[in-house]
Amino acid sequence: MTEVETRIRLLFADGGGYHAEVVTLPTERLARYERLIDCLREDPEVLLKLHVDVTRLCAAYVVGEDGSKEG
């Protein structure tokens, strides 16, 4: 069974500028949380997959396949 994943764009403040990264996270894990930031900070499976420096995080949002912001 293939796990469905959702693309997330993370925008960080980085030395006076901004740096963006796009990551993929399991859609099922994201659905467990009302807010995306809660999933990034608290979900054990997500925490094993990536580290997010929330002190530098400016924005996090779901993006489509073409990189445009969804919803």
Query: pTM for the full model?
Result: 0.82
Distances, alpha carbon 35 to alpha carbons 16, 38, 51, 60, in Å:
27, 5, 17, 10
pLDDT tens digits for 40-64? Answer: 999 999 999 899 999 999 999 999 8
Domain chopping of the chain, boundaries: 5-63
Residue 67 has pLDDT above 60, yes or no: no
Residue pLDDT, tens place only, 9-42: 999 998 899 999 999 999 999 999 999 999 999 9
